[in-house]
Structure 1
Amino acid sequence: MNNQSKVETVEHTAINQRTITNSKESVTLKNKKKLKDAGLFALFVGPVFLAFTLIVLVPFFTGIYYSFTDWNGITGDIKWVGLDNFKYLFTEDKQFQQSFLLTTKYTVVAIILTNVIGFGLALLVTQKLKASNILRTVFFMPNMVGGLLLGFIWQFIFVKGFASLGELTGIPFFELAWLGDAKTAFWGIVIVSVWQGAGYIMIIYIAALQNVPQELIEAAKIDGANRWQILRHITMPLVAPAVTICLFLTTASSFKIFDANLSLTNGGPFKSTEMLALNIYTEAFVNNRYGIGEAKALIFFIVVAAITVLQVTISKKREVES
């Protein structure tokens, strides 16, 4: 019995040692796999994260620091002024306040028109038309032209083209001083921006409309539903996620409008069409008041971020309810 017990003890000891060895090998393999995964992650994500840090994060936090200084953007003399820049913007800088209100007005108008026209174009080209592919290309082409170039092209159209048409036809619409009057210049910027952006929004709506089950539409037609009822009660709820995306894109792009504003009117006449992005650019790089320009940019960032987050939250909630 004693010999048998000794043999069993030796066997148990050997088994335990093998178990411990296997466990250590398993832990070692897992650690190697984790290190390998971490290495691959760093290899693929590291360069992008480094570029993002150098191009976005560092300038962003540096800009926040400069917003509390009176730096002119050129010299090395940087003086900390605290909240003085922000007090100046909200109490004395009337042009900043005017630009902010004008940008808000423009954003509301551009969001509505761009989405309505984009959705209408998407409905048009998703019909069974022979020229639907050609129409998609034509409607999307303005989005491929740069904003500055597009603005200069439309500047020629508003100033020269419309004037010539007005002389030939006598139609008052073409005889307006489109870029010489504050009201018409504002609508000129809206026309160019919507004309450029509607085609891009159209593509997103097309993708959403093509995913609407045709069985539901056919069943609704059999039940006697007209086109408006089908659009309202079937199509719109099913394309709600696309509406959320398009509202987010148009909100962000409308608030940040710069190139069309610069090339069309350059803020004129008499700064009556100077949007917020152009106002910030002028303050920092034309007036050489970089600290105040950064303060404006920081306020601009906070407002745009808050509005877009609020818009996405409300839109997502409506998606769930519908």
Structure 2
Amino acid sequence: MDLAWIGVVILAVWNSSGFNTLLYLSGLQTVPDELYEVAKIDGAGKWDQFKHITFPLIAPFFTINIVISMRGFLMVFDHIMALTQGGPGRATESITLLIYNGGFMGGEFAYQTANAVVFLIVVLTISLFQIKVLQKREVDY
């Protein structure tokens, strides 16, 4: 059983956790304190405050974070090159590493350029779909 991919996943999560934390903290600072005060007066508990005030108001930050993170994880290249270079065997090879190896190491420039264009279209499609679906849950204040 090959477990080399676990190291790549741990590195990717560790690498993105700082940006994610910063993004969510900045989102939390945009929520006005007055809304919490009114909710307390109305008798709302902590869970109700989070469910009805905090989460809906920071939903745009979730949207942008999910889209950026998904794009980053689909296009992972540097983590794999630094840790395993696609090995052992091809256990940790990603699409971007396959395009790199085929294009620069294998001399398949035109074929890998076509693969890169198709991959770009796939990533754009996934990102636009995520934005469309996730923006439905956003609210304006």
Separation in 1, partners of 2:88, 2:45 = 48
**Residue 221 in structure 1 maps to residue 40 in structure 2:** yes
109, 113, 133: which is aligned to 1:294? 113
* TM-score, reference length from structure 1: 0.41
Runs of 4 or more consecutive aligned structure 1 residues displaced over 6 Å after TM superposition: none
* TM-score, reference length from structure 2: 0.90
Q: Give the number of the structure with larger relative contact order, counting CA–CA contacts within 8 Å between residues 6 or more apart.
A: 2
Separation in 1, partners of 2:41, 2:57 = 20
Computing the radius of gyration from Cα coordinates, the structure with the larger value is: 1
**C-alpha displacement at 1:267, in angstroms?**
0.9
Asked whether the 8 Å contact 2:56–2:137 carries over to 1, the reply is: no
**C-alpha displacement at 1:219, in angstroms?**
2.7
Separation in 2, partners of 1:314, 1:227 = 27
Structure 2: 5+ residue runs without aligned partners?
Answer: none
**C-alpha displacement at 1:206, in angstroms?**
1.3
**Residue 261 in structure 1 maps to residue 80 in structure 2:** yes
SS in 2 for 1:216: helix
236, 260, 269: which is aligned to 2:55? 236
Separation in 1, partners of 2:100, 2:86 = 11
Instruction: Provide the residue aligned with 1:170 in structure 2.
Output: none
Instruction: Provide the residue aligned with 1:191 in structure 2.
Output: 10
Amino acid at match of 1:288: G
Identity, % of aligned positions: 40
Separation in 2, partners of 1:313, 1:225 = 31
Amino acid at match of 1:313: K
**C-alpha displacement at 1:224, in angstroms?**
3.6
**C-alpha displacement at 1:275, in angstroms?**
0.7
**C-alpha displacement at 1:320, in angstroms?**
4.9
Asked whether the 8 Å contact 2:56–2:139 carries over to 1, the reply is: no
Instruction: Provide the residue aligned with 2:30 in structure 1.
Output: 211
1:246-294 CA-partner distances (Å, limit 9, x unpaired): 1121111111110001111111111011011111100101111112211
Separation in 2, partners of 1:201, 1:212 = 17
SS in 1 for 2:138: helix
**Residue 319 in structure 1 maps to residue 138 in structure 2:** yes
Asked whether the 8 Å contact 2:27–2:61 carries over to 1, the reply is: yes
1:18-76 CA-partner distances (Å, limit 9, x unpaired): xxxxxxxxxxxxxxxxxxxxxxxxxxxxxxxxxxxxxxxxxxxxxxxxxxxxxxxxxxx
Asked whether the 8 Å contact 2:67–2:131 carries over to 1, the reply is: yes
Separation in 2, partners of 1:303, 1:231 = 35
Amino acid at match of 1:279: L
SS in 2 for 1:274: coil
**Residue 277 in structure 1 maps to residue 96 in structure 2:** yes
What's the Cα RMSD here?
1.7
Separation in 2, partners of 1:290, 1:261 = 21
1:161-185 CA-partner distances (Å, limit 9, x unpaired): xxxxxxxxxxxxxxxxxxxx63x22
Instruction: Provide the residue aligned with 1:308 in structure 2.
Output: 127
Separation in 2, partners of 1:279, 1:227 = 48
Q: Which moved more, 1:211-220 or 1:239-248?
A: 211-220
Aligned length: 140
Separation in 2, partners of 1:268, 1:227 = 47
Q: Which moved more, 1:296-305 or 1:310-319?
A: 310-319
1:144-176 CA-partner distances (Å, limit 9, x unpaired): xxxxxxxxxxxxxxxxxxxxxxxxxxxxxxxxx
